[in-house]
Amino acid sequence: MEVSPLRQVRKEKGAKETKLVLKLKFGVTWKAIKKASSSTMKLNRFHLTCASSMKELSLVRVQAEEAVKPIQQAHTKKKASHVVTKSLLSLLQLPYTASDFIDWGDLMTPTKSPKENISTKWREIHGLHNWDSLLDPLHPWLRREIIKYGEFAQATYDGFDFDPLSEFCGSCRYNRHKLYEELGLTNHGYKVTKYIYAMSHVDVPSWFERSHLGETWSKDSNWMGYVAVSNDEESERSGRRDIVMAWRGTIAPTEWFTDLKAMLEHIGDGKIKVQHGFRSIYKSKSEFTRYNKSSASEQVMEEVNRLIKFYKAKDEEISFTITGHSLGGALALLNAYEAATSIPGLPISVISFGAPRVGNLAFKEKLDEMGVKTLRIVVKQDIVPKFPGFIFNNILHKLNFVTKKFNWVYRHVGSQLKLDMFMSPYLKRESDLIGSHNLEIYLHLLDGFLSERRKFRWNARRDVALVNKTTDMLIEELRIPKFWYQLPYKGLVLNKHGRWVKPSREPEDIPSPLPVASENEMH
């Protein structure tokens, strides 16, 4: 399709740069381009006022993005290339419009960046040097890896049955063989090997989902996440066999964090203490339950040890990456502490999103001593990372020179990447405490983050519509429905008798403490 000329361009001088622009051939006529200024060597932003339709406008963007690539490659060693590339990128800073959410098939750009081979750099990407010089500006390889683990954590929400009128409330809607396929995550190259369950009757606020029906799959447990492992192709790309534990958290901060008891309890020897409620979830078990005869802690470590034994027998390098959002980020740290204590020498990293504080200074120092690498992603407007001890810790922070060695004060662990909701031009400007805690908001901001001093990345790939899956945070101009992620007809189906009913689950999707993956499955 021939794109309409771009008119109303400001008068500029400088023939050399404009001749380079001509080489792009991305569908606009020369008559629409005036000479650029020789003094500034910079193109002003074009005003796209005469595109014949919104579809044409998006086609310009698609064609121009592809055309920029060879120019960037051909001029990487020339001083002029920076000026030209910067000018072209400025030209392409077109805002998202409602037309971007119309399906045009092959004419649309992909939502994923190309996978780079990180086999020689994976240790640095996983915090070998505590992410020095990788966070600001954010290295594109690191961005992609963080988002990957964030999507693994998001899967614990997308696959979870939140319906209190379902007999399976609190479980995963899919069996482990189908989870990634159903949620569109097979492209990451991992297989789920085991589901993890935690006791729901523990001394914590309302963190668990329970069915309102009498007959349920379990009155004692909730699905809390899963263990996965990279396949051969992904392991070759990433330089090792990566074992992942993804912990489920809590979607909204609501009142439960303010009700959280800031009670620390000892673990192990010495002065190490962690929050009582987090540890209760991680360690609770009962012989009278079906899914928690062993604790979440025991389930995870049994599977991790099994996978390590299997892949060590094949003389492979292995890493353990633990991820989680909110409460899941807290459980990830407890998991990392236990794994580092029981499996010395295993490379362990934690990638957490909106996670609260977990333990005291001794807990932080012990994790550092054992070589656990922790990267905490936080959003400035999110209140959850400030708990437990929101008010108390803020007061003590002002007296840091006195209190920095107190072991009864909560401490964050590891390195921090801080994001700001106001950085994104696609999010509403109100400081919504609930919305700012949403994991999809985190992933959206990550995808657009370049550095603290730069604007939102114009060529961010992640689908903006995902923000409104379970929020109403996108600006109205995009016309994306709020809270759009739900089952068709809210889970009802029309049966053969013409009645709307709740369907029964497929037999293979009914929760069952089945054996873990066999060796044949892991090949």
Buried b or exposed e, range 469-489, using 16+ CB within 10 angstroms = bbbebbeeebebeeeeeeeee
User: How far is C-alpha 167 from the geometric centre of its chain's CA atoms?
Assistant: 29
Over 332-346, what HEC string results? HHHHHHHHHHHCCCC
The pTM score is 0.77
Closest Cα partner for 445 from 61, 125, 373, 437? 437
Q: Could you say which of 100, 158, 382, 447 is catalytic?
A: 382
Percentage of the residues of the chain whose pLDDT score is greater than 70: 66
Asked about 368 being catalytic, the answer comes back as no
Asked about 437 being catalytic, the answer comes back as yes
| CA separation for the pair 350, 330 (Å, rounded) | 10
| CA separation for the pair 126, 140 (Å, rounded) | 13
Q: Residue holding tokens 């991992």?
A: 190
pLDDT (tens digit per residue) in 325-362: 999 999 999 999 999 999 999 999 999 999 999 999 99
Helix 296-312 to helix 276-283 angle, to the nearest 10 degrees? 60
**Highest mean pLDDT (candidates 121-125, 263-267, 421-425):** 121-125
AA letter at 251: I
Mean pLDDT for 389-410 is 54
Cross-strand bridge partners of residue 350: 322, 374
pLDDT (tens digit per residue) in 413-453: 999 999 999 999 999 987 566 789 999 999 999 999 999 99
pLDDT of the residue at 55: 42
pLDDT of the residue at 185: 96
SS3 312: helix
Q: Could you say which of 230, 326, 424, 436 is catalytic?
A: 326
Asked about 158 being catalytic, the answer comes back as no
pLDDT (tens digit per residue) in 178-189: 999 999 999 999
AA letter at 396: L
Do 388 and 358 touch, CB atoms closer than 8 A?
no
Q: Is the backbone peptide bond immediately before 388 cis, with ω within 30 degrees of 0?
A: yes
Mean pLDDT of the chain: 77
pLDDT (tens digit per residue) in 188-210: 999 999 999 998 765 555 555 55
| CA separation for the pair 320, 282 (Å, rounded) | 18
Do 440 and 326 touch, CB atoms closer than 8 A?
no
Do 438 and 387 touch, CB atoms closer than 8 A?
no
Closest Cα partner for 313 from 416, 207, 241? 241
Do 169 and 161 touch, CB atoms closer than 8 A?
yes
pLDDT (tens digit per residue) in 221-262: 889 999 999 999 999 999 999 999 999 987 655 444 544 556
Closest Cα partner for 488 from 473, 503, 467? 503
pLDDT of the residue at 89: 41
| CA separation for the pair 523, 232 (Å, rounded) | 8
Which H or E run contains 193?
strand 190-199
Q: Could you say which of 126, 188, 412, 437 is catalytic?
A: 437
Lowest mean pLDDT among 32-41, 494-503, 505-514: 32-41
How many residues are there in the chain?
Answer: 523
